[in-house]
Amino acid sequence: MRIANKLLVALAVLALPLTSLATDLAVLSNGFSIRHERREVRGQITRLYVDGKGDSYVDIPTDQIAGFEKDLSPASAGEKGRAGRASLSDMINGISGSYHLDPDLVNSVIHAESGFNVRAVSPRGAEGLMQLMPQTASRLGVENAFDPTANVDGGTRYLRELLERYNFDLIKALAAYNAGPQRVEQYRGVPPYYETQAYVARIVRDFNRKKLAEQKTAKGVAPHSPTARKSARAGASTTAGLIPVASNSK
What is the rounded CA–CA span in Å between residue 5 and residue 60? 27
Closest-CA residue to 153 (of 174, 170, 136, 166):
136
8: phi then psi, degrees, rounded to nearest 5: -80, 110
How many residues are given for the chain? 250
What is the rounded CA–CA span in Å between residue 53 and residue 5? 30
Lateral strand order in the sheet of 33-42:
57-61, 45-49, 33-42, 19-28, 65-70
Kindly give the pairing relationship between strand 19-28 and strand 33-42. Answer: antiparallel
Counting DSSP H helices and E strands in the chain, the numbers are 9, 5
61 neighbors 45 (Cβ within 8 angstroms): yes
Measured from the Cβ of residue 124, the count of other Cβ atoms closer than 10 Å reads 7
Residue from 40, 79, 113, 164 carrying the catalytic annotation: 113
What is the rounded CA–CA span in Å between residue 115 and residue 76? 32
Catalytic residue check, 113: yes
Q: Which residues are catalytic?
A: 113
